[in-house]
């Protein structure tokens, strides 16, 4: 899976006439080793611990490339931080976001997706992407 994403990204790089660099390798390895939903800030700070020379702009630009290449996706939970989640081929999930502790759970629901399609159809609308987030308290925070 890691390997597949590395290939996807290097193919993307090659196809775009971009270069394979030490920084991009480092950032990709790190990104693939992280849990989901890290913000750019978090990613940068954790990376910097091991690679102090890496610049914020480089991390920023590289994550954008990941998103462009399809191995990552930008998401926003309304806290003013852009987060990056891993994209797995053919899989889509939505989120439960705990507004107290920030925990994020994922879920999939085929019925909801189907209903979305029906709604879009009735409006003549063509869905490209969608965003479904449930905000509230996770089991722990409900005490």
CB 22 within 8 A of CB 50: no
Residue among 1 and 139 whose Cβ is closer to a copy of itself: 139
Of residues 41, 58, 45, 52, the one with CA closest to residue 28: 58
Binding mask 27-66 for DNA (x = CB under 7 A): ------------xxx-----------xxxxxx-xxx-x--
Cα–Cα distance measured from residue 122 to residue 84, given in angstroms and rounded to the nearest whole number: 32
> Which secondary-structure segment (H or E) carries 104?
strand 104-107
By CB under 7 A, residue 114 contacts DNA: no
Instruction: Identify what 55 binds: DNA, a copy of itself, none; CB under 5 to 8 Å per kind.
Output: DNA
Cα–Cα distance measured from residue 117 to residue 128, given in angstroms and rounded to the nearest whole number: 11
Residue 76 C-beta: closest distance to a copy of itself, Å: 6
Can you give the binding site for a copy of itself, defined by CB under 8 A? Answer: 76, 78, 96, 98-99, 105, 107, 109, 111-112, 115-116, 119-120, 123-139, 142
């Amino acid at each position: 899976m890691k390997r597949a994403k590395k290939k996807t990204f290097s193919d993307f790089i090659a196809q775009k006439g971009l270069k394979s660099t030490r920084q991009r390798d480092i950032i990709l390895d790190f990104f693939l080793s992280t849990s989901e939903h890290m913000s750019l800030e978090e990613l940068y700070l954790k990376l910097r611990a091991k690679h102090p020379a890496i610049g914020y702009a480089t991390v920023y630009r590289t994550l954008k490339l990941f998103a462009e290449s399809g191995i990552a996706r930008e998401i926003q939970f309304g806290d003013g931080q852009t987060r990056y989640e891993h994209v797995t081929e053919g899989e889509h999930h939505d989120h439960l976001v705990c507004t107290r502790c920030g925990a994020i759970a994922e879920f999939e629901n085929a019925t909801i997706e189907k209903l979305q399609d029906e709604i879009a159809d009735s409006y003549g609308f063509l869905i490209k992407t969608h965003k479904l987030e449930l905000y509230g308290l996770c089991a722990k925070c409900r005490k």
